Structure 1
């Protein structure tokens, strides 16, 4: 059975999207979430940990912070590690591994710190330390302050468990959901992605509109912890809030293979009833028949990895012209690393925020109000 002790829970987000994640966490009913560098913290117990993994779209992982203390020497770290109640959350029969990061601290050898903690856990609990273990203790020693966390997610949370096919430069589902939120999408309007690739924006938007939990199709590392309660978890998972939206979410792409991928991913996600994909070039896109103006959002090629910037300028120009001609009343959100490419569209963008790290690059979200 789960214990009722409350502790700090950390939900990781890409730098620059912490506020956006915090607004989602608050909207989902978690109490007093707080923005911190790299994510959001809140206080709660294990049921809140499970709920965060199941419900929150924008977090990349959920950490349960099980111990925090000052430490300046390895001997001190060992002493304090022996005081941690490992048996409260780790099982003696489940392998674990320890990953340590050190910064601005007297303890600077992360490997030595990891070795000491692993040895103590095995000695006190009997659990074996293994390099490929699913249960990971993430230890951060920063300015001589040690935080020990259990990674309760396991695989990163963008791996929803129902997407197999991806294109060459996929947008992670967690980031797609945060960018949709930044574009003020709330699940109650039409969305069109005219360069949909493997369908990530469209499928995320459809899941939000359908009120489907992002973690519904996968397993989590917390299922291997001592605090796990199978009956309570299944009860939580089985609460059905799903609905079929009265509008549709649309994707198009000039590549027939992208449409096939998107349709397959939508089928696995269970959103075929409210999504529609078709092959079309940028010069052929039109507002879907019978739909009210909503959001056009896309992650076009940047030229950094795919395509050539000089050729891409013409593509961005064509995109801007088409949107200005045909999409009156629609808002637009475009992700790109290249400010010059965004401006080639000629769209009336609002001031942009700081760039967001994405796949080794830094992308900007360019947004418009409703086009007139």
Structure 2
């Protein structure tokens, strides 16, 4: 494969956030973004794969769809897998592994399908197979059509190497960035999170405001592929992924608070590692002590506790009521976004919510973003 090839690229996100990711990809200039279940398909070549990994905040991982063929039985799968130009894609000296899934197909044993493709690659290319390999070839056999993809990201893209410390029930950076987008945040207004945990919303907002690339501090699986052009990749990385930085006005700051002093300390340390300490402020106080920062109104966004089990929600109602009362009394002109599992908790705030965003799975729980317009 060469860098000027054109193929399908599937950018994965949490189900429910496909439209928000599609909007981000469109704004970033990627070609033909089309939302589907669990992600968005774009078209391009290897430079687009690299840029998506480096710059797209809502991407969980980026899959390069490198081949597709019909396979009605395992022998045919073996034969057609050997015709893929593995030498242009994988390196003979780098271990790989294969994951397969089968749906509505005559080949129904995913483990046997993975073994056949593994053997075909090993014998054609000579690369070693390892269960721990970062390079993962994914085969999806759906209605007898086998689609071969390579996971170009490696570790999930929410792992940005800035957050050493995490609070309980952390919000993933990828999800936080898309919730910010769904609230209309574009980097030009202040953001307040009154239950900041490990600081994810605040840090994401600050990074967006000054144009810091989410993948700037980490490595990616594609750096170990035969398709990598090291000079082109370093040029892209050095140019900030093709995005222009737009430093925030000194008047704009990003604020977090929490009643847990340990969470505040974590947030400050995480913001320093991310390079946004000067733009952020974290304070230790209760929701009822929250006051708006000086300057123009912006966005209050919060991921409050929501009680994972039945019977845990009722004691949380007073917390949500206190949050709503504080915001209605002091945050006139500010918009609000609240992430929660239960509409009754959102309603307990008394805030004038618009139609909620689609539900999203977060850590096994189905959460919904509730949003307001500017508060009266």
Using the size of structure 1 for normalisation, the TM-score is 0.97
Q: Tell me what 2:122 maps to.
A: 122
Q: Deviations over 1:85-122 (max 9, x none)?
A: 10111000000000001111111111100100000101
Pairing 1:115-154 to 2, within 5 Å after superposition: 115-154=115-154
Q: Tell me what 1:278 maps to.
A: 283
Q: Deviations over 1:247-290 (max 9, x none)?
A: 101100011100100000000000011111111101000101x2
Matched, 1:68 2:68: yes
Pairing 1:213-362 to 2, within 5 Å after superposition: 213-240=213-240, 241-246=244-249, 247-288=252-293, 290-304=294-308, 308-362=312-366
Q: Using the alignment, how far apart are the partners of 1:309 and 1:34 within structure 2?
A: 38
What SS does structure 2 have at the residue aligned with 1:184?
coil
Q: Using the alignment, how far apart are the partners of 1:27 and 1:259 within structure 2?
A: 33
Moved more, 241-250 or 23-32: 241-250
- C-alpha contact (below 8 Å) 1:191/1:249 kept by paired residues: yes
Q: Tell me what 2:33 maps to.
A: 33
Q: Tell me what 2:89 maps to.
A: 89
Could you tell me which runs of 5 or more consecutive residues in structure 1 were left unpaired when the two chains were aligned.
none
Could you tell me which runs of 5 or more consecutive residues in structure 2 were left unpaired when the two chains were aligned.
none
Q: Using the alignment, how far apart are the partners of 2:226 and 2:341 within structure 1?
A: 44
Q: Using the alignment, how far apart are the partners of 1:279 and 1:308 within structure 2?
A: 25
Q: Using the alignment, how far apart are the partners of 1:149 and 1:306 within structure 2?
A: 40
What SS does structure 1 have at the residue aligned with 2:31?
coil
Q: Tell me what 2:45 maps to.
A: 45
Which aligned segments of 4 or more residues in structure 1 are displaced greater than 4 angstroms?
none
Moved more, 236-245 or 199-208: 236-245
- C-alpha contact (below 8 Å) 1:301/1:307 kept by paired residues: no
- C-alpha contact (below 8 Å) 2:17/2:358 kept by paired residues: no
Q: 2:372 aligns with which of 360, 368, 372?
A: 368
Q: Deviations over 1:156-185 (max 9, x none)?
A: 000011111000100000000000000000
